[in-house]
Amino acid sequence: MSGVFYYKEFNDHDLGDDENPLGKKFNEIIKDLEENKYTNLGGIKLIKGDGDVKYFRAKLSDSDSLLFTSIKHNDKDAFVILEVILNHDYQKSKFLTNKEKIKNIHIVNQSDKEISYNADEIDTPQDH
């Protein structure tokens, strides 16, 4: 089972509840990442942000996406869920528009407990 963590300021408000289509798709993707160390759900694509920093993008709907990256945590592969990007509005992304942002994030587990990691542990995502 793979670890899935969250950017401390991750805003899940746009996902709605578990009955909302975005929330359902999000939960399916998270479950797949945890169980399989990867997901084919959401048409995963490798995208580049400012300074050619690479991220994963998963489609939550035709117009909305989930941005995440991979890290090593305790010598194991893990994922960090960064943000929901609504309406293809990638210009509003905190991460895609600021290459330094990824180096200075606080990461929490699903219980909102902060985990420690070294910014150098952030992997450059590889296309699977």
The stretch 89-112 carries a mean pLDDT of 86
Please check the confidence at residue 1 and state whether its pLDDT lies above 80.
no
Q: Residues 42-48: what's their mean pLDDT?
A: 88
Nearest to 42 by CA among 30, 54, 27, 25: 25
Q: Is the pLDDT of residue 56 over 90?
A: yes
Q: Where are the domains of the chain?
A: 3-121
CATH class held by domain 3-121: alpha beta
Determine phi and psi for 66, rounding to 5 degrees. -110, 130
CA distance 87 to 55: 18
Predicted pLDDT of residue 121: 53
pLDDT-derived band at 128 (thresholds 50, 70, 90) equals very low
